[in-house]
C-alpha cells in the first residue's frame, strides 16, 4: 500500500502523541501540529525523524491555520485528519459576566474552533474517496463537565463538536470520507490537567469506571487507529465513547 499521510493536531504530547505513534506504526507519514515548536521537534525525533513532520501553529488563529494547510499541501493529499488539540480552561477569574464571557470564548476557541478551522482549511486536500476524519471530544460532552476545573464551557465546546461533526458526516459521506467522534473519559499521563491534578482527583475518576482503572493515551490511539484505517469505511457519523464504562450506552 502507498504511504498514507495523516495530520494530528496536538500531536506533540499526551493522547495526540500516542495517536501519531499508532499511525506511524500503521505506515503513515504524520504531520503533528501544536503551538510549541520544541515540543513538536522532540516528538518528531522520538517517533521517527523523516516520518513525522512538525508544523507549528496556533489553531485558534485563521491565518496560522491557512499557513499550516499550505505547508501540508506541499507534503501531499491527507488520508487521515485527527482533530485532537484541546485544553481544559481555568475557571473565570471572578464572578463578573465579562470574566465569564472571556473564559467561554477562550474555551470555544480552543476546543471547537481549532477543530472547525483546521478541518475547513484541509477539506479540499482530503483524499476522495477514502479520507478519514476523527474528532477527539470528551465524555464531558455526554454527561456535563462543570466542576472545579471549568464553568461548563469545556463540556459545551466539546458537545458543539458533536453536532457539527454529524453534519459534516452527512456532507462528506457521498464523497467517500468518513467522519467520527471519539469521546474519551479520564485519560491519565497527559499534560491536560496540569496543577489541577491530584491523587484524589485521579482516584475519583478511576472510581467512576466499571473496569477500575484510568484510560491511557494508547487506549485512545488504538481506537483512532481503527477509525483511520481503510477497514473502517462503513463506520461514519458516530459518537463513540471510550471511558471504561463511566458513561453507558451513548
Q: Which residues bind ligand NDP (CB under 6 A)?
A: 9-10, 12-16, 33-36, 39, 58-60, 84-87, 110, 114, 136, 138, 184, 186-187, 190-192
- Shortest distance (Å) from residue 203 CB to ligand NDP: 14
Q: Between 17 and 29, whose beta carbon lies closer to ligand NDP?
A: 17
- Shortest distance (Å) from residue 137 CB to ligand NDP: 7
* C-alpha span between 126 and 81 (Å, rounded): 8
Residues serving a catalytic function are 154
Q: How many CB atoms lie within 10 A of CB 168?
A: 21
3-state secondary structure of 63: helix
- Shortest distance (Å) from residue 168 CB to ligand NDP: 17
Which one-letter DSSP state was computed for residue 110? Answer: I
CB 107 within 8 A of CB 153: yes
Q: Between 1 and 210, whose beta carbon lies closer to ligand NDP?
A: 210
3-state secondary structure of 126: strand
Q: Between 102 and 127, whose beta carbon lies closer to ligand NDP?
A: 102
Q: Between 35 and 127, whose beta carbon lies closer to ligand NDP?
A: 35
CB 54 within 8 A of CB 17: no
Contacts of 143 (CB under 8 A, 6+ apart): 155, 247
Return left, alpha or beta for 212; rule: phi > 0 is left, psi -120 to 50 is alpha, else beta: left
Amino acid at each position: 500500500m502507498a504511504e498514507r499521510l495523516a495530520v494530528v493536531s496536538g500531536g506533540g504530547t499526551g493522547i495526540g502523541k500516542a495517536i501519531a505513534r499508532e499511525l506511524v506504526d500503521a505506515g503513515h507519514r504524520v504531520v503533528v501540529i501544536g503551538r510549541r515548536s520544541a515540543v513538536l521537534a522532540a516528538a518528531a525525533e522520538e517517533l521517527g525523524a523523516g516520518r513525522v513532520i512538525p508544523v507549528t501553529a496556533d489553531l485558534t488563529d485563521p491565518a496560522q491555520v491557512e499557513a499550516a494547510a499550505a505547508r501540508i499541501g506541499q507534503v501531499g493529499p491527507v488520508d487521515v485528519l485527527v482533530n485532537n488539540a484541546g485544553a481544559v480552561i481555568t475557571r473565570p477569574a471572578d464572578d463578573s459576566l465579562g470574566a465569564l464571557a472571556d473564559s467561554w470564548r477562550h474555551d470555544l476557541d480552543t476546543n471547537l474552533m481549532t477543530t472547525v478551522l483546521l478541518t475547513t482549511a484541509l477539506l479540499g486536500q482530503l483524499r476522495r474517496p477514502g479520507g478519514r476524519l476523527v474528532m477527539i471530544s470528551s465524555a464531558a460532552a455526554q454527561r456535563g463537565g462543570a466542576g472545579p476545573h471549568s464553568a461548563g464551557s469545556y463540556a459545551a465546546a466539546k458537545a458543539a463538536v458533536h453536532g457539527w461533526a454529524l453534519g459534516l458526516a452527512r456532507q462528506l459521506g457521498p464523497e467517500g470520507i468518513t467522519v467520527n467522534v471519539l469521546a474519551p473519559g479520564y485519560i491519565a499521563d497527559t499534560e491536560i490537567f496540569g496543577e489541577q491534578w491530584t491523587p484524589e482527583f485521579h482516584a475519583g475518576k478511576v472510581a467512576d469506571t466499571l473496569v477500575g482503572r484510568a484510560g491511557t493515551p494508547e487506549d485512545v490511539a488504538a481506537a483512532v487507529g481503527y477509525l483511520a484505517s481503510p477497514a473502517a469505511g462503513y463506520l461514519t457519523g458516530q459518537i463513540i465513547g471510550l471511558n471504561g464504562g463511566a458513561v453507558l450506552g451513548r
